[in-house]
Structure 1
Amino acid sequence: MDVIRSSEHTVFVQTSNIYYKKWEVENPQNTIILLHDSLGCTALWREWGEEFAKVLNFNVISYDRRGYGKSDNYTVKRPIDYLEQEAEILNDLLAHWQVEKPILFGFSDGASVATIYAGMFPEKINGLIIEGVHVLIEEVTLQGVREAQKTLETTNISKALAKYHGDKVFDLYYAWTKTWLSDEHQSWNIEHFIPKIQVPILIIQGELDEFGTMNQVNAFDKAMAKVEKLIVPKAGHTAHKDAKPLVFDTIVKFVKTL
């Protein structure tokens, strides 16, 4: 199935102009929402949106969270429940898009937002796909964040990211790292949302994920819904990049069972 059109838009939600991109097909069977990671944005999903649309005959929507990509900058100090706030914004976006019962595909921070949303609004989605999810604080997570901050300060990564985030790079980078490393954030935990999830869940985790262990994956054993796990051999945090064919095919098969 061919994508009949792709389009880019901006909508004001709560406090910010939010950028999003849509890939639309004829007679779509459903919609997939892409939720990016802590340094990501719509552009960094690259070809995934268009390929999902073509292979599944689904509409696909990706958006940039506050402070990322082509959305407004967001310099307010992040509270401990900032990801819950992002789930509320997602709910407003779905209402704006008039999308009902979509499938959420979240990566890293986006996976945490998707998990929260699935627990907050269990009847509003049709399936949950999460990659590199965080539901609890681990030392390996904190060490990964420390290394990421060091990379910002000792390499030219800010110049590479400026292509996608413009002059927001240092704001979003420090908002992420300083929030996760702060004393108040060490009590952060969203496991209580998991038993509330009512839809099938596909969890994808790189075997060598530098930001989380199998504790993040196994936390979903308490879900009431069906849980499928894909542990990607020799892959790191970005399993969808490290082993794209395997991850893509697994997602397609999962979606077709819904």
Structure 2
Amino acid sequence: MTHRQFLETGVARLEYRLTRPAHSTGPVLVLLHEGLGSLDLWKDFPAQLAEAGATPVLAYSRQGYGRSSPIALPRSLDYLGVDGPDELARVLDGLGLEQVLLVGHSDGASIALAYAARQDPRVRGVVVLAPHVDVEPASVEGVRRTVGAYARGDLRERLRAYHGDNLDGAFRGWSETWLNPAFADWNLYPELPRIRVPLLAIQGQEDEFATPAQLETIAREVAGPCRTVLLEHCRHFPQNQARPRVLALIAEFLAALPG
């Protein structure tokens, strides 16, 4: 596996790993993790995705996660639509990436959609897993359940190995934002019609943080070609709970991208 590296963006020091399989071609797949995720929490998914797509895969921990620089709390209520995409732009610039395909999960999916709406010509397409384009009651309830698990200590201990000193900041930055009553009005409705690149949206039918309305809204509002897939017997982590199908779908999507 490629070693962990660090990128100085001028704002933060971010950990990243770029996996390049032999004879890789095509755009770099840039992975954007969920609200409690990190570089290491992708585990072996980046390596398997690189092999399945025969393309380089970049994964990094956003500021406040993993071994990246800490972040001040509270997070801005615009962190998905503004802060995350701004940071992504600094990553693309800092690593000199010219052609990319964004692959975001949950919070990372929201960031990927918001960035695609900026119409950066480097972005060839977008894949979103368990996306959020607004705040549903199911989302808030899922966060509340997660807060309970964290308070009991079991989830906290599992996450400690991945976030180290960033643990409490990462958890509070995510949970306190989603449970803030002012965040209930957050959405990506203005951004979706500005997305013109090909889009693949994947969700588990049993997603405990969202309903299929997320896929319906995306398909209805984006301007570019869009395919949505609702996976049976799958919850909020399609890349783990339905990995063979997800790898195949992304490989198909890559192969069909315009040249």
Structure 1 and Structure 2 fold alike (TM over 0.5) = yes
Which residue of structure 2 aligns with residue 201 of structure 1?
Answer: 199
Q: What secondary structure, in the 3-state scheme, does the structure 1 residue paired with 2:126 have?
A: strand
2:15–2:67 contact (8 Å) kept in structure 1: yes
Which residue of structure 2 aligns with residue 140 of structure 1?
Answer: 138
Asked if 1:62 is matched to 2:59, the reply is: yes
TM-score between the two structures when normalised by the length of structure 2: 0.94
2:24–2:56 contact (8 Å) kept in structure 1: no
Which residue of structure 1 aligns with residue 18 of structure 2?
Answer: 22
Which residue of structure 1 aligns with residue 168 of structure 2?
Answer: 170
- Cα gap change, 1:175/1:27 in structure 2, threshold over 3 Å: closer, same or farther? closer
> Partners in 2 of 1:171 and 1:119 — Cα distance?
28
Q: Larger deviation: 90-99 or 9-18?
A: 9-18
CA deviation after TM superposition for structure 1 residue 43, in Å: 1.0
CA deviation after TM superposition for structure 1 residue 77, in Å: 1.2
> Partners in 2 of 1:54 and 1:131 — Cα distance?
19
Q: What secondary structure, in the 3-state scheme, does the structure 2 residue paired with 1:235 have?
A: coil
CA deviation after TM superposition for structure 1 residue 185, in Å: 1.0
2:14 partner letter: I
User: How many residues matched?
Assistant: 254
RMSD between aligned residues: 1.4
CA deviation after TM superposition for structure 1 residue 27, in Å: 5.3
> Partners in 2 of 1:30 and 1:175 — Cα distance?
31
Q: Larger deviation: 20-29 or 222-231?
A: 20-29
CA deviation after TM superposition for structure 1 residue 51, in Å: 1.8
Which residue of structure 1 aligns with residue 223 of structure 2?
Answer: 224
CA deviation after TM superposition for structure 1 residue 155, in Å: 3.5
Which residue of 128, 131, 155 corresponds with 2:129? 131
Cα deviation code 1:22-79 (max 9, x no counterpart): 1124453221001100111111111121122223221111000011111011133111
1:162 partner letter: R
Structure 1 segments of 4 or more deviating over 3 A?
Answer: none
Which residue of structure 2 aligns with residue 113 of structure 1?
Answer: 111
Q: Percent identity?
A: 28
2:248 partner letter: D
1:35–1:63 contact (8 Å) kept in structure 2: yes
1:199 partner letter: V
CA deviation after TM superposition for structure 1 residue 193, in Å: 0.8
> Partners in 2 of 1:28 and 1:98 — Cα distance?
16
Q: What secondary structure, in the 3-state scheme, does the structure 1 residue paired with 2:103 have?
A: strand
CA deviation after TM superposition for structure 1 residue 122, in Å: 4.4
Which residue of 30, 33, 54 corresponds with 1:33? 30
2:53–2:250 contact (8 Å) kept in structure 1: no
1:24–1:59 contact (8 Å) kept in structure 2: yes
Q: What secondary structure, in the 3-state scheme, does the structure 1 residue paired with 2:123 have?
A: coil
TM-score between the two structures when normalised by the length of structure 1: 0.94
Q: Larger deviation: 65-74 or 7-16?
A: 7-16
> Partners in 1 of 2:17 and 2:239 — Cα distance?
20
Q: What secondary structure, in the 3-state scheme, does the structure 2 residue paired with 1:77 have?
A: coil
> Partners in 2 of 1:173 and 1:112 — Cα distance?
18
Which residue of structure 1 aligns with residue 234 of structure 2?
Answer: 235
Cα deviation code 1:181-209 (max 9, x no counterpart): 11221111112111101111000000011
Cα deviation code 1:121-168 (max 9, x no counterpart): 343300100011111111111001111111100132111111110122
> Partners in 1 of 2:67 and 2:119 — Cα distance?
27
2:45–2:239 contact (8 Å) kept in structure 1: no
